[in-house]
Amino acid sequence: MPHTSSHYAAEGPRVAVRRFRMEDGEEFVRRVRESEDLHGPWLVMPDSEAAYAEYASRLTGSPARAGFLVCEKDSGDIAGFININNIVRGGFQCGALGYGAFAHAAGRGLMREALELVIGYAFGPLGLHRLEINVQPGNTASIALARGAGFRLEGFSPKMIQVDGEWRDHERWALTAEMRAGG
């Protein structure tokens, strides 16, 4: 059943984004399990409702994080997620994006549309100035998403983030409010 517009932080033609809720656990975990091959070495996601509850609590209970579920507008189904992590205020006004599509929605342009919505929300109501995306070099889909949204490659960091028990290299991509505005 589609969710009502009042639950959305932002809406586009095909998707809308909204905050995580505890009652989303069953669907989220089912989508994670269906998407294990897609996420491969790139992501480790909560694969039980208890793990989802812990994950969602971290995203909803901290001013340093803002988590969004990407929902298909026609069905209300969860198509993916985009999180703004490590939000730092003061003179920095920055956050780091993490995201993933679920298998049933991959390759349909839904995450591209949703990323635009979250970027607009981050630079608008959240008042951020800079967003960063850290991507493993072999994750071509994620790199294409970052590049397509206007992020610029700023560097390479060996063994930057621990993913699935291994320290992995990452490319660092960034976007500022001025870049988005064309200035």
Which pLDDT belongs to residue 99? 95
Q: What are phi and psi of 73, to 5 degrees?
A: -65, -35
Tokens, residue 169 = 């290299």
Give me the pLDDT at residue 164, please.
Answer: 85
Check pLDDT > 70 for residue 97: yes
Average pLDDT over every residue of 147-176: 96
Q: Give the pLDDT confidence score for residue 181 in this predicted structure.
A: 87
107 has a pLDDT exceeding 60: yes
pLDDT at 42 > cutoff 90: no
Neighbouring-strand partners of residue 72: 15
Predicted local confidence at residue 4, as pLDDT: 42
Q: How far apart are alpha carbons 153 and 183 in whole angstroms?
A: 17
Strands 94-101 and 130-135: parallel
Locate 99 and state its tokens: 């995201």
Residues 6+ apart with CB under 8 A from 16: 3, 5, 8, 10, 71, 73, 117
Bridge partners of residue 16, in order along the sequence? 11, 71
For position 156, what pLDDT does the model report? Answer: 98
Given a cut of 50, is residue 1 above it in pLDDT?
A: no
Report which of 16, 155, 127, 154 is spatially closest to residue 80, judged by C-alpha positions: 16
- Neighbouring CB atoms inside 10 A of 44's CB total 12
At residue 6, the pLDDT reads 61
Would residue 93 be called left, alpha or beta, if left means φ above 0 and alpha means ψ between -120 and 50 degrees? left
Burial of 182 (0-12, 13-18, 19+ CB in 10 A): exposed
Closest C-alpha among 93, 64, 82, 73 to residue 149: 82
User: What is the pLDDT of the chain when averaged over all its residues?
Assistant: 93
**Is 31 a residue whose pLDDT tops 80?**
yes
Averaged over 47-76, what is the pLDDT? Answer: 94
Q: Can you tell me the mean pLDDT for 76-83?
A: 97
Residue percentage of the chain with pLDDT more than 70: 96
Q: How far is CA 112 from the centre of its chain?
A: 11
What mean pLDDT is predicted for residues 136-163?
95
Q: Over range 140-165, report the average pLDDT.
A: 95
Cα–Cα distance for residue pair 79/22, rounded to 1 Å:
17
Q: Is residue 103 predicted with pLDDT exceeding 90? A: yes
